[in-house]
Structure 1
């Protein structure tokens, strides 16, 4: 079995994001970048399935700027076997939209013919939560989103999903798309020997033109602003006073 894992280069989740003074976007100057946390979970799950003897090869794919090669090297150091980088933009501020990403991934899937694609459920920079679902639609494959447990069977996968009311277990036929939630696993740290080995693992470089996909943006960001500062709270002396303020001041009752 072959598993494909798309990964995205994003601002590290520990970094406080700064908005440019002119409101044209997010300031990326001298900002630490890393693998999207949900994608890191997807890479870990693919590697665990390989270690359990359920898969033979794990391929990491990234679509974006040339510097995403660093993100792919991280995936290789974690345990992926090889990687594919599709350089789709020269500008770090230009985000490749989900439909374009899904179309490129479809072309890669058609070429590589994996049995399973494991994606992070969303990227923490745009929170669109769309690529996995779009890819499943383009391929006509089964999909199981927001997974917190994955078990592979004979020609199928049993996936426990996180839903609003709790947990839902579904069985999907392979090939399939699975998107990961936070509680699926705890990603490993890449050891120094594996980081050194990752430098020698194959990393193919492609362009959207190689797959016949137009990545020109369809959306335009008009303005980016900081979220409003949260107002200070107040202390109330009794439940009655609390109810009064919720009803007459906050207007939530």
Structure 2
């Protein structure tokens, strides 16, 4: 079995971000970049399935600039076998990314595709679902447990009423939730080995896919500063302020 994992380059979650001067997005100059945390979980799950003997190859793919090679090498150091970079302009919308990933899926023919449920920069939570629609593969989103059984995969996911388990006929698409696993750290020997693993670079233009944006960002602004609280001397004063000033009751 071949497992394909999509990964995204994002601003590291430990970094404090700010809106850029043109109010078109987040300022990324000189900021530390990392693999999206949900994508790390997806890579870890693919490697675990390989260690269990269910997969014989794990391929990681990213859509973006040449800088994404850093995150692909990180995935190779964690245990992936080879990587593919679809070189494209930064900031592509979810639909454009899903179209490019669908082209890679048709080319690679994996039995299982794993993605993070969302990226911490755009928080769109769309690419996995769009990829399933474009490929016609069954999907299991927000997976908290994955079990491969012969020609199918059982995906357990959290819903409002508890847990739901879906049985998907392979090939299938899974998006990962935080509770699925705890990603490992890459060891120094594996980091050195990753430098020799194959990383193919292809151009998005080679796939002849329309990646033009469908949305226009009007402006990006930082949230308003939270005002300091006040102390009240009685319940009556509290109720009065909630009713007449905050107007919440």
TM-score, normalised relative to structure 1: 0.93
Q: What is the aligned counterpart of 1:133 among 122, 129, 133?
A: 129
Q: Secondary structure of 2:84's partner?
A: strand
Q: What is the aligned counterpart of 1:147 among 128, 143, 151?
A: 143
Q: Secondary structure of 2:105's partner?
A: helix
Are 1:98 and 2:94 counterparts? Answer: yes
Q: Cα deviation per residue 1:197-232 (whole Å; 9 max; x = unaligned)? A: 000000000011222212222222221111111122
Report matched runs for 1:102-251 at 5 Å: 102-236=98-232, 242-251=238-247
Determine the structure 2 residue equivalent to 1:63.
63
Pair 85,236 (structure 1): closer, same or farther in 2 beyond 3 Å = same
* Distance (whole Å) between structure 2 residues aligned to residue 252 and residue 133 of structure 1: 38
Q: Secondary structure of 1:107's partner?
A: helix
Q: Secondary structure of 1:20's partner?
A: coil
Determine the structure 2 residue equivalent to 1:87.
87
Determine the structure 2 residue equivalent to 1:48.
48
Unaligned runs of 5+ in 1: none
Pair 245,214 (structure 1): closer, same or farther in 2 beyond 3 Å = same
Pair 243,144 (structure 1): closer, same or farther in 2 beyond 3 Å = farther
Q: For this pair of structures, how many residues does the alignment match?
A: 249
* Distance (whole Å) between structure 1 residues aligned to residue 88 and residue 56 of structure 2: 29
Q: Secondary structure of 2:212's partner?
A: coil
Pair 98,22 (structure 1): closer, same or farther in 2 beyond 3 Å = closer
Give the stretch that moved more between structures: 233-242 or 25-34.
233-242
Pair 82,238 (structure 1): closer, same or farther in 2 beyond 3 Å = farther
Determine the structure 2 residue equivalent to 1:22.
22
Q: Cα deviation per residue 1:67-93 (whole Å; 9 max; x = unaligned)? A: 00001000000000000001011xxxx
* Distance (whole Å) between structure 1 residues aligned to residue 232 and residue 162 of structure 2: 34
* Distance (whole Å) between structure 2 residues aligned to residue 33 and residue 116 of structure 1: 27
Determine the structure 2 residue equivalent to 1:76.
76
TM-score, normalised relative to structure 2: 0.94
Would you identify which runs of 4 or more consecutive aligned residues in structure 1 move more than 6 Å?
none
Q: Secondary structure of 2:167's partner?
A: strand
* Distance (whole Å) between structure 2 residues aligned to residue 85 and residue 161 of structure 1: 30
Pair 245,154 (structure 1): closer, same or farther in 2 beyond 3 Å = farther
Task: Tell me how large the CA RMSD over aligned residues is.
Answer: 1.6
Unaligned runs of 5+ in 2: none
* Distance (whole Å) between structure 1 residues aligned to residue 155 and residue 71 of structure 2: 27
Determine the structure 2 residue equivalent to 1:13.
13
